[in-house]
Structure 1
Amino acid sequence: MKRFNKKTIVIAVVAVLVLAGIVLVVGGGKSDAKKKDETGPKPALAVTTVQPSQASLPIYLTANGTVTAWQEAIIGSESNGLKLTDVRVNVGDVVKRGQVLATFSVASVNAELAQARASLMEAEANAADAKNNAERARTLETTGALSTQQINQYLTTEQTAKAKAEAAKALLAVQEVRLSQTQVVASDDGVISARSATVGAVVSAGTELFRLIRQGRLEWRAEVTSAELGRIKTGTVALITAANGTQVKGKVRMIAPTVDAQNRAALVYVDLAPTAADVAPVRAGMFATGQFDLGNSTAVTVPQQTIVIRDGFSYVFRMNPDNRVTQIKVQPGRRLADRIEIISGVPTDAVLVANGAGFLNDGDLVKVVVDTPATADSTKEQKVATPPVGATAATK
């Protein structure tokens, strides 16, 4: 009996232990399921948020054009049939008004000048003799010693001799002018842009010898469409970037009175300021692009990292009350440092995802965190390193 009772007790203990194990397993499973139900789905990403803000952005109008000389003077030969003996300047030389650029041979001109002086002396001597004879004839006019015909002859000879003297004087002046024309001088201050003069060449009158950019002034001739032409006025400031990368400021001098019938564009003439000595110079004939400064306007802007480019379009992610995001297509505009204008697509009171927007999809669940000081410092450093507004602002 005792033996039977002991065996029964062991079986009962084992059964109790097995039952307790089953209860623990079932209870643990239910607890895990309950814990899982209480936790819910996990967020896809931790992000920071930002709201659009108002900012004053510059308005630029971009145009293309060519850099040309303000005025290009043609310096030619005034002498005919003379030989060039000396050419003193070359392309690129800076010259002053009246500076001698080239000289012609003066041998034949000096000989003709001496001949003209001798002719003048002879004519003046004949004029003086004729004048004396005429004065004597006038004194004898009342005495009857000379006939009226003889007296008139003396008076006519006087007038003829006087006219010949004047003609000889004019011929001498012509030869003196020819002598001065043997020196080719600069008609204005400027820079030599072309040279066709060659030592030893015999050129005719009117032959081009040099081209001169007057006063070294350059201008940018921008092509602006007729639709945009009304936004530009005389005195508008522009920033021009030449093909060699040099940037130079300019100011609108005048606007062409007509529009090209082929491309419907008008020329805007912009005077360029001189470039500094330590930068590559802007040269005539260069292609250049420029931006006309049309003032400022108020715009809605967001940080650059808020905008995500996908399939060629721009999107932002708006935060919903349930911490899920909605992808919204927007139209970006001008750029100012690290902020971009939003023309349409986002209300001003919307809460947008800032950091982490590039890793999200429409409907993702996110966790909003506060920006850390380190992030703010890095953002501040980024703003300090941003190029000037004029170099980064986009055309509206």
Structure 2
Amino acid sequence: MGFKGRITYLILALFLVTVLAAGCGQKPPGQAESQKVPVEVAKVTRGAITQPARVTGTVQAGTTINVTAALPGKLKAVLVNVGDRVSRGQVIAQLDDSDAAARLAQARAGMEQAGTAPAQAEAGIKQAEARVKQAEAQAGLDAANLQRIQTLYDQGAASQQQLDAARTAAAASKENLAAAQGALEAARAGLASSQAQIATAEAAVRQAQVALDNCYIKAPVDGVVAARLLEPGETAQGAVVTLVTTGDLQVEINVTEEDINYLQVGKKVSVEVPAAGNKALEGSVASSSPAADKSTRLYSVKVAIPDAPAEVKPGMAATVVFQTREVQNALLVPKNAVVNRSGQSIVYTVAGGKAVGQVVTTGIDDGRNIEILKGLNEGTTIIVKGQDFVNESQPVQIVNGGPQA
């Protein structure tokens, strides 16, 4: 409070003492009524005003995640305790892996065995290809010899016996070629089969490796262990450990449809945590639900408070303060200048040295100033201190250097 303010309150106090003394003394009735009430005045101004909203929520520590085993199994070990910090990918629990390890070893042996088949098949293909080339050459020679003997026979220079022998040799070489070609196709099919066997064996190894990997339960995110839900020897058929993600604290609030559009993601807001000293903290809207809850008709909003002090703990109540309606060029008076008289909002002006009440219609307020919609004009002199002690036509004394009555 400034020097002038202290002087004003001192004068007001002296006035009250004087009034009480007059009531107890022998002075004529009405003398107290003629006493002038000291007041301070100011002008009605214009300016911008924004109305804040206050919504209470709860401080939260990031996101809660239940870590489960990929497949049910007997729990062999839990490697973390409540309060431990863990990193993404860190092994935090282990299932009995003996069966999975045995299956992996068996699958790898099968793959090694299947791995020798392609080499054998390729060697067979090379041999078959050589036989085909040999058979092709022989068939070509026998076909040419048959043609030569046929020509000689037609000329009478070769016997029937020679012609029949040439025909038999050509037919045999042709059959031998067909057999060699069939053997080559079979060898090639064998190679394809062995390659398929390798692919099947590799898939079996991968499947067995995944099963073994699933025996090691890993943290999906960085976080802090909030709960250890199972112990070694139990069957892991649900959550084994609960993690709370590290990072900024958040306040979750629920707001009405009138306020949700004032809380776009990234908007700066103020956060008050009474249990941590009620100091205003800077926050920003981290997320805003696109639709209202069907049962409550409220929208969920999360506000991040990145620089929260250590005194702010998850679970504490917090109030998020944010700006809503804004009016430019509004008529403004101090909020405490408006008093209630018989259910009406009254602002006192000064005329002829006396208080004159003006009924006003008010709009939004920011906690310090209030918007006047009707009843006053810009520049009007109004009482801003002492108004609670005056009534209609009450004589007043302006004590802050304003116009004297």
Instruction: Please classify the TM superposition score into its range, dividing by the shorter chain length.
Output: 0.5 to 0.7
Q: 1:177 to 1:367 in 2, by over 3 A?
A: closer
Alignment of 1:320-339 (within 5 A): 320-321=351-352, 323-331=353-361, 333-335=364-366, 337=368
Determine if the alignment matches structure 1 residue 278 to structure 2 residue 310: yes
Distance in 1 of aligned mates of 2:177 and 2:185? 14
Q: 1:102 deviation in Å?
A: 2.0
Runs of 5+ in structure 1 lacking a partner?
1-39, 373-396
The one of 123, 126, 132 equivalent to 2:123 is: 132
The one of 267, 270, 285 equivalent to 1:236 is: 267
- Specify the SS of the correspondent of 1:291: strand
One-letter identity of the residue aligned with 1:236: K
Q: 1:280 deviation in Å?
A: 0.8
Distance in 1 of aligned mates of 2:257 and 2:52? 13
Alignment of 1:140-289 (within 5 A): 140-141=131-132, 142-143=134-135, 144=176, 147-148=179-180, 153-192=186-225, 196-204=229-237, 207-210=238-241, 212=243, 216=247, 222-227=253-258, 233=264, 235-241=266-272, 244=275, 245=278, 247-252=280-285, 256-258=289-291, 265=298, 267=299, 269-283=301-315, 288-289=319-320
> 1:102 touches 1:184 (CA, 8 Å); kept in 2?
yes
Q: 1:155 to 1:239 in 2, by over 3 A?
A: same
1:216-269: CA deviation from partner (whole Å, max 9, x where unpaired) = 35655654444555556554332244575575434346655445666655x264
Moved more, 80-89 or 309-318: 309-318
> 2:262 touches 2:324 (CA, 8 Å); kept in 1?
no
Q: 1:59 deviation in Å?
A: 1.0
Q: How many residues align?
A: 325
- Specify the SS of the correspondent of 1:317: strand
> 1:234 touches 1:254 (CA, 8 Å); kept in 2?
yes
Q: Percent identity?
A: 20
Alignment of 1:1-396 (within 5 A): 43-54=34-45, 56=47, 58-62=49-53, 64=55, 66=57, 75-90=67-82, 93-141=84-132, 142-143=134-135, 144=176, 147-148=179-180, 153-192=186-225, 196-204=229-237, 207-210=238-241, 212=243, 216=247, 222-227=253-258, 233=264, 235-241=266-272, 244=275, 245=278, 247-252=280-285, 256-258=289-291, 265=298, 267=299, 269-283=301-315, 288-292=319-323, 297-303=328-334, 306-309=337-340, 314-321=345-352, 323-331=353-361, 333-335=364-366, 337=368, 341-364=371-394, 366-371=395-400
> 1:72 touches 1:214 (CA, 8 Å); kept in 2?
yes
Distance in 2 of aligned mates of 1:287 and 1:192? 24
One-letter identity of the residue aligned with 1:273: I
* Higher normalized contact order (CA 8 Å, seq sep 6+, divided by chain length): 2
Superposition RMSD in Å: 4.2
Q: 1:325 deviation in Å?
A: 2.5
1:49-103: CA deviation from partner (whole Å, max 9, x where unpaired) = 413332645413426475668766553322443424123253x654332222222
> 1:307 touches 1:316 (CA, 8 Å); kept in 2?
yes
> 2:91 touches 2:216 (CA, 8 Å); kept in 1?
yes
- Specify the SS of the correspondent of 2:282: strand
Runs of 5+ in structure 2 lacking a partner?
1-30, 136-175
- Scaled by the length of structure 1, what TM-score is found? 0.64
Q: 1:278 deviation in Å?
A: 3.1
Distance in 1 of aligned mates of 2:342 and 2:396? 26
1:138-168: CA deviation from partner (whole Å, max 9, x where unpaired) = 4334355995566655554444333323322
1:336-372: CA deviation from partner (whole Å, max 9, x where unpaired) = 55x55545444444443444433333233x2425349
One-letter identity of the residue aligned with 2:355: V
1:114-154: CA deviation from partner (whole Å, max 9, x where unpaired) = 22222222222344444434443443343559955666555
Q: 1:359 to 1:243 in 2, by over 3 A?
A: closer
